[in-house]
Structure 1
Amino acid sequence: MPRRLYSLACAERTRHFSPHVWKIILALRHKGLDFELVPLSFGDIPRIEDGSFTSVPVLNDNGHLEGDSFKIAVYLDEAYPDAPSLFGGTGGIAMARFFEAYCHTVLHPPVSTAAVRNMHAMMSPADQVHFTAVRQKRFGKSIEEIYAGRDAAMADFEARLAPLNHVLGEQPWFGGASPLFCDHVVFGAFQWARVCLETPVLPQGSRVADWFERCLDLYDGAGRSAVPARPVAA
């Protein structure tokens, strides 16, 4: 049975935009594991494997089902201890949890606001209906009303990067001498922006921008395989 990773994709099924899926794409490549990337629409998610999942990523590892990006990463390290470690020990797991919380609370909210219109435009008509309803429920606003707040949401984005730039001034990767899952976690946030925003969010020449370029080259350029965003007509 081939190893399968289920992923949300745009209408043409070639552009994968979930930051959480990108964490696991890199994690699987880090471990040297082959896999099939299975593109889905929102409507497909309830039909993944045994029907018990409500979000992606979902991994079917030769019959073992695992959901939630962090749980998948922990599972991979436990199931394949002879492959390069994603965490480098229990301390690395704790460190990765911090980076995940940082991304969820500091990086994801402004990217979500700025990317909302492009994400909507990339989707199939059925997914657009689902996406609009979810965003309306969460924000109490239409897609265009959410998008109208993009400049305010992104105004302090460079300042939000200060902890990352500080760490990268001391070491080449967030994992230390080499990338670990904590690097994949942060990469997922910026890859989401790269796929969904036509304007780069990382200041050119900054440490974090240089780090992101190196991340794109990891594992034979797995990150560069994603096509960057195209402008959406006004």
Structure 2
Amino acid sequence: MTIILHELVGADTSRPFSPHCWKTAMSLAHKGLPFERKQVCFTKVPEVEGGVSKTVPVIRDGSQVLSDSFLIAAYLDETYPDKPSLFGGEGGQAMARFVEAWSQSTLHAALNVIALQEIHDGLAPEDQAYFVHSREARLGKTFAEIAALRDAEIAGFSAKLTPLRVMLKSQPWIGGSSPLFADYIVFGALQWVRLVSTARLLEPGDAVTDWFERCLDLHDGLGRSAPAAG
């Protein structure tokens, strides 16, 4: 049975840009499970699967409907234990919780600012007003005030990747010898900005850049199948 993945898009449907939806897409591919991608814009998310969630990703697996990328990954590992594991055990799942906390508090915090205006400009008109209101409410600043911080966030972004850069000196993946859900967490963040922003945050020859390129090639180039912005 094909799993349905509801994922976020803007006006350009070739670039589904949500980092959380990318975590789920990579998870499904990692497990080798067939899935169909159904695209939804911001203002239509409340209509997905009868309003089960205020956010995507949402998946339908037969009669099961789930939201939240981490809970989806845990469900997939539990439901399909014969397929490659996303966590490699209880310790791996606990480690992924730390990676997610670091990614969202450090990387997402910067990327929300860096890509703000470009995400807005890439939305359909009916979604732009929603986006401005929701981001101002979330970040506690006006849209103009947030956008004014962009250059400083770009300048400081490479340093935020230092923990990953140092780790990659001793192993090729966050998961160790092969990728796990923890890799997809950080990949989702960097894929997000790759798809929506012209900002170039990764330098050639950097260990993080090489890791990201390997992630793009995973699962028959699933990540690379969406064209970069610009």
CA RMSD of aligned residues (A): 1.2
Bigger shift: residues 67-76 or 10-19: 10-19
Task: Note if 1:103 corresponds to 2:103.
Answer: yes
Structure 2: tracts of 5 or more residues without a match: none
Mapping for residues 26-65 of structure 1, pairs under 5 Å: 26-65=26-65
How far apart are residue 52 of structure 1 and its match? 2.1
User: Distance in 2 between the 1:140 and 1:71 partners?
Assistant: 28
Do the aligned residues in 2 keep the contact of 1:115 with 1:193 (CA within 8 Å)?
yes
1:155 aligned counterpart, secondary structure: helix
Paired amino acid for 1:71? L
Matched-pair contact (CA < 8 Å) for 1:14–1:39: no
TM normalised by structure 2 equals 0.96
Partner Cα separation in structure 2 for residue 139 and residue 80 of structure 1: 38
Shift of 1:14: 2.3
TM-superposed CA distance for 1:156, in Å, is: 1.8
TM-score, normalised relative to structure 1: 0.95
Secondary structure at 1:48 match in 2: helix
Equivalenced residue count is 230
Aligned pairs for 1:121-140 within 5 A: 121-140=121-140
Residue 140 of structure 1 and its aligned partner are, at CA, apart by: 4.2
AA of the residue aligned to 2:207: R
CA distance in 1: counterparts of 2:187 and 2:200, whole angstroms: 14
Return 5+ residue gaps in structure 1 as ranges.
none
Change (3 A) 1:157 1:6: same
Alignment of 1:1-234 (within 5 A): 2-230=2-230
Q: Deviations over 1:177-224 (max 9, x none)?
A: 000000010100100110111122112211111000000000000000
Letter in 1 for 2:95: M
Letter in 1 for 2:123: M
Residue 6 of structure 1 aligns with an amino acid whose one-letter code is H
Check whether the contact 1:13–1:40 (CA below 8 A) recurs between aligned residues.
no
How far apart, in 2, do the equivalents of 1:140 and 1:72 lie? 30
SS of corresponding position for 1:60: strand
Large movers: runs of 4+ above 6 Å: none
Contact 2:53 2:67 in 1 (8 A): yes
